[in-house]
């Protein structure tokens, strides 16, 4: 297939594209606006492939999207472009409303018109996969329950609310217009090339710099952690074998309290990058800070459906995935140093081949 991936220069999107180019025979068209979180350097390993093309287009730009569809004629869309950081959504929700809601609506409109223009065979096999989050389901608190595909939506943050809205838009286009849609809701991702504002890379890089490791509240919030390469495999499996109109929850079977995640990072760094004898241990850098507004207590995914129907299971445990992640950040200092100092934004197209 030729697959149009939106947000392909982001964390999950770049992992997905690396998987598609490196592990499948599919061709990829990467559509990305290149906001602060889009880093072409994350795609350096595949940018030279003849099966990879890049288009710098905002998904809110209907005319630009129409040109991309007309030029590349994709067989499927994998929609990952989104504003995704909860703290940013609390401080400035406007960008989340624009990208996650307006942008998704615009993409659906263009994809629908494009599919309607196809011949019967290609129209029948066309797919629109929308990649979403478990945060749309809200807070499980201490219920001991798990999110399933039929769990009612109860988003807490502007980020989660706009993602919930985008899910509803996708389902509406499927039901009203017959667009063959698929939706996935995933748990917290982690792994290589994640922007340093997220918990795990933030803690790794602060620790290496000897800075405080800020933990919200008491750190007892629980998240299910999914290694990003496992997620990429799941998305490919859903696209290739998922039933149109269906939703699949994708989880890592790895529930951890935030404070335990931070302590595990500190322990790994003590082993892999020990501090000098005259320096404080990494764990001593932990500082508990005021909790953020509306902070959900627990997320937990029941991924039984995707395992039963599509045969997908995560390959990484949290221990193995976290060790791989810490080692990657230790071995790829130039990648994250260029992010921290902003130099990655100066030559944004240097690591990609324009279509």
Q: Could you tell me the residue range of the domain that residue 37 belongs to?
A: 2-190+227-253+300-316+333-345
Residue 210 lies in a domain: no
- Tell me what pLDDT residue 136 has: 98
Which residues are registered as beta bridge partners of 222? 257, 298
Helices (H), 35-116: 62-72, 86-91, 94-96, 104-116
pLDDT digits (tens, 9 = 90+) for 121-152: 999 999 999 999 999 999 998 888 999 999 99
Tally of domains within the chain: 1
pLDDT of residue 351 exceeding 50, the answer is no
Residue 109 lies in a domain: yes
Q: Which residues are designated catalytic?
A: 134-135, 159
At 348, the pLDDT band (50, 70, 90 cuts) reads low
At 345, the pLDDT band (50, 70, 90 cuts) reads confident
Residue 293 lies in a domain: no
What average pLDDT score do residues 238-246 get? 98
At 277, the pLDDT band (50, 70, 90 cuts) reads confident
Query: What is the domain-level CATH number for residue 249?
Result: 3.40.50.720
Residue 215 lies in a domain: no
Phi, psi of 255 (to 5 degrees): -75, 130
pLDDT digits (tens, 9 = 90+) for 23-81: 999 999 999 999 998 999 999 999 999 999 999 999 999 999 999 999 999 999 999 99
pLDDT digits (tens, 9 = 90+) for 199-231: 999 999 999 999 999 999 999 999 999 999 999
- Tell me what pLDDT residue 276 has: 86
Rounded-to-integer distance, Cα 189 and Cα 191, Å: 7
- Tell me what pLDDT residue 91 has: 94
Phi, psi of 222 (to 5 degrees): -105, 135
pLDDT of residue 353 exceeding 70, the answer is no
Residue 110 lies in a domain: yes
pLDDT digits (tens, 9 = 90+) for 158-204: 999 999 999 999 999 999 999 999 999 999 999 999 999 899 999 99
pLDDT of residue 350 exceeding 60, the answer is no
pTM: 0.94
Residue 205 lies in a domain: no
Instruction: Please give the helix or strand (H or E) that residue 286 lies within, else none.
Output: strand 286-289
What average pLDDT score do residues 291-320 get? 95
Residue 154 lies in a domain: yes
Rounded-to-integer distance, Cα 219 and Cα 196, Å: 19
Residue 208 lies in a domain: no
């Amino acid at each position: 297939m030729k697959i149009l991936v939106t947000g392909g220069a982001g964390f999950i999107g770049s992992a997905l594209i690396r998987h598609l180019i490196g592990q499948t025979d599919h061709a990829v068209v990467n559509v990305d606006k290149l906001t602060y979180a889009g880093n072409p350097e994350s795609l350096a390993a595949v940018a030279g492939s003849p099966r990879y093309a890049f288009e710098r287009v905002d998904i809110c730009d209907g005319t630009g999207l129409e040109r991309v569809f007309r030029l590349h004629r994709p067989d499927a869309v994998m929609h990952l472009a989104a504003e995704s950081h909860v703290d940013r959504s609390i401080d400035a929700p406007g960008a989340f409303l624009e990208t996650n809601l307006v942008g998704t609506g615009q993409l659906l409109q263009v994809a629908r018109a494009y599919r309607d223009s196809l011949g019967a065979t290609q129209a029948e096999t066309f797919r629109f996969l929308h990649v979403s989050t478990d945060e749309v389901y809200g807070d499980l608190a201490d219920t001991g329950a798990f999110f399933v595909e039929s769990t009612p939506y109860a988003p807490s943050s502007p980020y989660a609310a706009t993602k919930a809205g985008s899910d509803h838009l996708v389902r509406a286009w499927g039901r009203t217009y017959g667009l063959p849609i698929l939706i996935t809701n995933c748990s917290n991702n982690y792994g290589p090339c994640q922007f340093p504002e997220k918990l795990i890379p933030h803690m790794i890089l602060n620790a290496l710099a000897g800075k405080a490791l800020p933990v919200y509240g008491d750190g007892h919030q629980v998240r299910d952690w999914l290694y990003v390469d496992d997620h990429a495999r799941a998305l490919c499996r859903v696209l290739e074998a998922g039933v149109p109109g269906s939703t699949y929850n994708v989880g890592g079977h790895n529930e951890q309290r935030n404070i335990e995640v931070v302590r595990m990072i500190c322990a790994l760094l003590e082993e892999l990058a020990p501090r000098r004898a005259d320096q404080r241990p990494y764990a001593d850098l932990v500082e508990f800070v005021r909790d953020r507004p509306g902070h959900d207590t627990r997320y937990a995914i029941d991924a039984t459906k995707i395992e039963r129907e599509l045969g997908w299971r995560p390959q990484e445990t949290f221990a193995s995935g976290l060790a791989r992640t810490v080692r990657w950040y230790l071995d790829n200092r130039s990648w994250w140093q260029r992010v921290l100092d902003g130099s990655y934004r100066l030559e944004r197209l240097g690591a990609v081949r324009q279509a």
